[in-house]
Structure 1
Amino acid sequence: MLFAWLKRYMPRSLYGRAALILVMPVVTLLLIASVVFLQRHLEDVTRQMTLAVSREIDLVVDRAERVETQQQLLAEMRPLLDALATRMRFPAPDDVPDGDILRGFDLTGGVVTETIRARIPELRAIELLDNRNSRFYLDTRLGPIELIFDRRRLTPAAPHQLLVTMLFFGILMTAISFLYMRNQLRPITRLARAAQAFGHGRTVDYTPSGATEVRAAGQAFLDMRARIERQIEQRTMMLSGVSHDLRTPLTRLRLSLSLLDEEEAAPMRRDVDEMQRLLDAFLEFSRGVAESGFESLDPAELLREVVDDQRRAGLDVELVECEGQGEMTLRPMAIRRAAENLIANAMRYGTRAEVSVSLTPKSLRIRVEDDGPGIAADQRGEAIKPFVRLDPARNQDKGTGVGLGLAIVADIARAHGGTLRLGESGRLGGLCADIVIGR
């Protein structure tokens, strides 16, 4: 439960996580060193030095109890005070503070106050306002006494110096480590950008660099990209070649059928037309997105044009919703082909179709819904595979097709770094097809 809660606040990027791994040990080390220094070294040394000063203060209190006047006390203590570099005077009662006066950021003032008060019950107030002098006010039989000691006799000089030094060098070494880490992570970032661009259908220049493992991963990516590009090129050439070569015999068949009696040639002409549709589908699948480059465009305007074209063709298609405004970098011809395929698929199995567009800061969604029989949930994964025909109940009396319509749409969505999702339409009761592309 704790790890799940912490995971929500952890950085998601590799750079952020590496920075956290780098900073956490430095911060932890500084905190531990600071605590150990304050408790084990600074406080112990301060307490020992304060105990030595408390004995001198106790000596002054003891002498004050033995003499009769202030002048006698000053005369007796002058040789000792000069040797100890200590000053003593008798202040007016109004000049004596009512309580201890310490600086808020004094690292050792609390230890000094605690140690002195534990040994000198006659102590009235302590004044520690700077690093030079410390003043102690005592209540004696002769009146209040003010003792002024050099602060360096109570605490180590500049006790914060070690902390400042650790903090400075900690920040310095962390900054140097950040620069080095950024140089090491830059090849990984370049590899991620190249892979992301290839996933969106773009090929960017990339040269492996960095550590040995990163170079190996980069070279593996280049090999994989080249192999995929060769496979796509071979598939395109194969389908285009087969489709192109079959057009010549189909043309000869059409010419031969034109010489026959119309009634006798009608069934054979329908077969030739069906073969022509299959060839056209093969060519469309083989082209994929190769004929369309990326452009910055308004997806809603593009879909509006597609719907208008379909309505002029006599189809019952309506653009029901356009949510969000703005432009997005897409392949216009490919997106148009995908939308037309979804609309054609909807009208093939239904009587009407509704199109909606939603553009958010994170994604683009193009939705086509129909009032047909839909696709069963267990068949939706198969429906987007090439050359797959579903159960005849889906096809009704509209023909079987070649099984490439949704496959072409899925290819176009993947070429944009998106996906094709199939579901049930809540508005029309048929199939709901969504093209979702991240921005």
Structure 2
Amino acid sequence: MSFTWLKRYMPRSLYARAAMILIVPVLALQAIVTVRFITDDLRGVTRQMTLTVSRELRLLADLAEGAGSPQEALDRLAPYLQTLNMGLRFVPPDQVPATDRIPWSDYSARIVRDTLRAELPETLAVSFLDSGRVSFFFRTDLGPAEVFISRRRVTAATPHQLIVVTISFGLLLTGIAYLYLRNQLRPIAKLAKAAEAFGRGRSVPYTPAGATEVRAAGSAFLDMRNRIERHIEQRTLMLSGVSHDLRTPLTRLRLGLSMLDEDDARPLLQDVAEMERLVETFLDFARGAAEGEPEETDPHDLVRQIVADAQRAGKPVEIAELSGSGALPLRPVAIRRAVENLLDNAVRYGSRAELSVALTDRSLRIRVEDDGPGIPPEQRAEAVRPFTRLDTARNQNKGSSVGLGMAIAMDVARAHGGTLRLGESERLGGLRADIVIAR
């Protein structure tokens, strides 16, 4: 039998699951002890006390047998009633309750009633309305009689004492265990926060602590983080060095071509300019999202600046929609580079581009849409890989590309703990590129 459906109702956080592991056994133990106490011990004690009272009542009935009047019966029973600490009186039939008077929550009273009716068939009614006294109504030859005794004669003085003690100690032990377990879970929570921050491009201080297994996991995380940071640094230095070394010969070529005839040098100068643009693209890819530290940024203001700069450069870019409000930690330089790359692709392969921003309590979405040919669904995963050029999907005659624009945008999105999603624009019919970042 599968219990996978239970997963929907299970708590998500580690603290909640640990609390459930502690509380469920304690509640189960308390329920078992309570049921056992009520069904066996409490029932047995109450029944035994009621049987004793029923024998005393039977004795009184035998002593009163043959009395000519109620007063004569009372005179006979007076010494015994005082000894047995009971009271008795004869009542008119209309003062006998039609039904037993027992509170719905009084479990012991129901045991007394059932036991008494089984032992004394003459019982007419039982009343437990008075918290300190119990009244029994019986049928006699002289008319209905009421016997009243102290409730403590038929029920235990503190039947709830064991339950209260069990619950109190259960809560105390649960609290102590939770405090201890919280100290054990705290290092795991710190490790999770450090890993989440690193996934969003931030490196927070972290020191392994806790149990041996948690320390081992923390040390492994630190080693992994250091290796990734060294890899990123080495990649950046390598590409930056190569790009920097290429600038010198390119500069010499430009100077040499400037001395030639303008008509002869123009095609070569265009080639040099294209090579310089490719070098700048390599540098952008090498830098990735490493420029600057995250700072509180209003994405609406950032997008307005990007669109204004693109419009001044003569690009057909417009703002379609800005929704939500607020600021969140971003690397504005890296986000600008990613959005500008998406806009460059949009206007290269389409006649216009639109940019929109949706900011909610859970995520930030920056969307770039164009009216170009788009990218087929089966090629979208490949489109975000570095140095990928989809000649069949995009018109390469409209501009040259080294195939890093989408890769840079994806790199920046991942460095912020988000992703880049490609789809079809419902508004313009071309490509839709979404940078989605969780808050």
TM-score under structure 2 normalisation? 0.94
Within-5 A mapping of 1:232-247: 232-247=232-247
Counterpart in the other structure of 2:360: 360
SS in structure 2 of the partner of residue 348 of structure 1: helix
**CA displacement, residues 401-422 of structure 1 (integer Å, 9 cap, x when unaligned):** 2111111111111111100001
Following the alignment from structure 2 to structure 1, what is the Cα–Cα distance between the partners of residues 130 and 229?
75
Counterpart in the other structure of 2:126: 126
Aligned amino acid, residue 43 of structure 1: R
Counterpart in the other structure of 1:300: 300
Counterpart in the other structure of 2:22: 22
Counterpart in the other structure of 1:431: 431
SS in structure 1 of the partner of residue 398 of structure 2: coil
1:260 matched to 2:273: no
Following the alignment from structure 1 to structure 2, what is the Cα–Cα distance between the partners of residues 41 and 151?
18
SS in structure 2 of the partner of residue 66 of structure 1: coil
Following the alignment from structure 1 to structure 2, what is the Cα–Cα distance between the partners of residues 351 and 88?
106
Following the alignment from structure 1 to structure 2, what is the Cα–Cα distance between the partners of residues 119 and 280?
103
1:339 matched to 2:302: no
**CA displacement, residues 113-162 of structure 1 (integer Å, 9 cap, x when unaligned):** 11212332322222224564322122322233232333333222211111
1:373 matched to 2:376: no
Counterpart in the other structure of 1:229: 229
1:388 matched to 2:388: yes
SS in structure 1 of the partner of residue 397 of structure 2: coil
Structure 2 residues not aligned, in runs of 5+: none
Overall identity of the aligned pairs, in %: 60
User: CA offset at residue 268 of structure 1?
Assistant: 2.5
Aligned amino acid, residue 272 of structure 1: V
Aligned amino acid, residue 305 of structure 1: Q
Following the alignment from structure 1 to structure 2, what is the Cα–Cα distance between the partners of residues 87 and 170?
43
Within-5 A mapping of 1:267-286: 267-286=267-286
Aligned amino acid, residue 412 of structure 2: I
Following the alignment from structure 2 to structure 1, what is the Cα–Cα distance between the partners of residues 338 and 181?
44
Following the alignment from structure 1 to structure 2, what is the Cα–Cα distance between the partners of residues 92 and 253?
128
SS in structure 1 of the partner of residue 436 of structure 2: strand
SS in structure 2 of the partner of residue 158 of structure 1: coil
User: CA offset at residue 98 of structure 1?
Assistant: 4.2
Following the alignment from structure 1 to structure 2, what is the Cα–Cα distance between the partners of residues 61 and 124?
15
User: CA offset at residue 74 of structure 1?
Assistant: 3.4
What is the alpha-carbon root mean square deviation over aligned residues? 2.1
Following the alignment from structure 1 to structure 2, what is the Cα–Cα distance between the partners of residues 178 and 154?
42
Counterpart in the other structure of 1:39: 39
| Change over 3 Å in CA distance of 1:393–1:34 after alignment to 2 | closer
SS in structure 2 of the partner of residue 268 of structure 1: helix
Following the alignment from structure 1 to structure 2, what is the Cα–Cα distance between the partners of residues 67 and 59?
14
Within-5 A mapping of 1:406-421: 406-421=406-421
Within-5 A mapping of 1:29-108: 29-91=29-91, 96-108=96-108
SS in structure 2 of the partner of residue 140 of structure 1: coil
Counterpart in the other structure of 2:114: 114
Counterpart in the other structure of 1:201: 201
Following the alignment from structure 2 to structure 1, what is the Cα–Cα distance between the partners of residues 400 and 16?
53
User: CA offset at residue 191 of structure 1?
Assistant: 0.8
SS in structure 2 of the partner of residue 289 of structure 1: coil
SS in structure 2 of the partner of residue 420 of structure 1: strand
SS in structure 2 of the partner of residue 394 of structure 1: coil
Is 2:123–2:139's contact at 8 Å kept on the other side of the alignment?
Answer: yes
Count of paired positions: 439
1:184 matched to 2:184: yes
| Change over 3 Å in CA distance of 1:208–1:82 after alignment to 2 | same
Following the alignment from structure 2 to structure 1, what is the Cα–Cα distance between the partners of residues 292 and 262?
42
Following the alignment from structure 1 to structure 2, what is the Cα–Cα distance between the partners of residues 17 and 2?
20
Aligned amino acid, residue 26 of structure 1: V
Counterpart in the other structure of 1:169: 169
TM-score under structure 1 normalisation? 0.94
Stretch moving more, 70-79 or 262-271? 70-79
SS in structure 1 of the partner of residue 388 of structure 2: coil
Structure 1 residues not aligned, in runs of 5+: none
User: CA offset at residue 83 of structure 1?
Assistant: 4.0
Following the alignment from structure 1 to structure 2, what is the Cα–Cα distance between the partners of residues 104 and 354?
71
Following the alignment from structure 1 to structure 2, what is the Cα–Cα distance between the partners of residues 400 and 42?
90
Aligned amino acid, residue 344 of structure 2: A
| Change over 3 Å in CA distance of 1:146–1:392 after alignment to 2 | closer
Aligned amino acid, residue 192 of structure 1: A
| Change over 3 Å in CA distance of 1:178–1:130 after alignment to 2 | farther
User: CA offset at residue 5 of structure 1?
Assistant: 4.6
**CA displacement, residues 183-219 of structure 1 (integer Å, 9 cap, x when unaligned):** 1111111111111111111111111111111111111
Following the alignment from structure 1 to structure 2, what is the Cα–Cα distance between the partners of residues 276 and 186?
52
Following the alignment from structure 1 to structure 2, what is the Cα–Cα distance between the partners of residues 82 and 229?
94
Is 1:389–1:400's contact at 8 Å kept on the other side of the alignment?
Answer: no
Following the alignment from structure 1 to structure 2, what is the Cα–Cα distance between the partners of residues 62 and 314?
118
Following the alignment from structure 2 to structure 1, what is the Cα–Cα distance between the partners of residues 115 and 271?
108
Following the alignment from structure 1 to structure 2, what is the Cα–Cα distance between the partners of residues 127 and 259?
121
Aligned amino acid, residue 122 of structure 2: E
Stretch moving more, 252-261 or 348-357? 252-261
Within-5 A mapping of 1:310-321: 310-321=310-321
Following the alignment from structure 1 to structure 2, what is the Cα–Cα distance between the partners of residues 130 and 222?
71
SS in structure 1 of the partner of residue 9 of structure 2: coil
SS in structure 2 of the partner of residue 126 of structure 1: strand
Is 2:374–2:393's contact at 8 Å kept on the other side of the alignment?
Answer: no
Aligned amino acid, residue 334 of structure 1: A
User: CA offset at residue 77 of structure 1?
Assistant: 3.2
Is 1:131–1:152's contact at 8 Å kept on the other side of the alignment?
Answer: no
SS in structure 1 of the partner of residue 88 of structure 2: strand
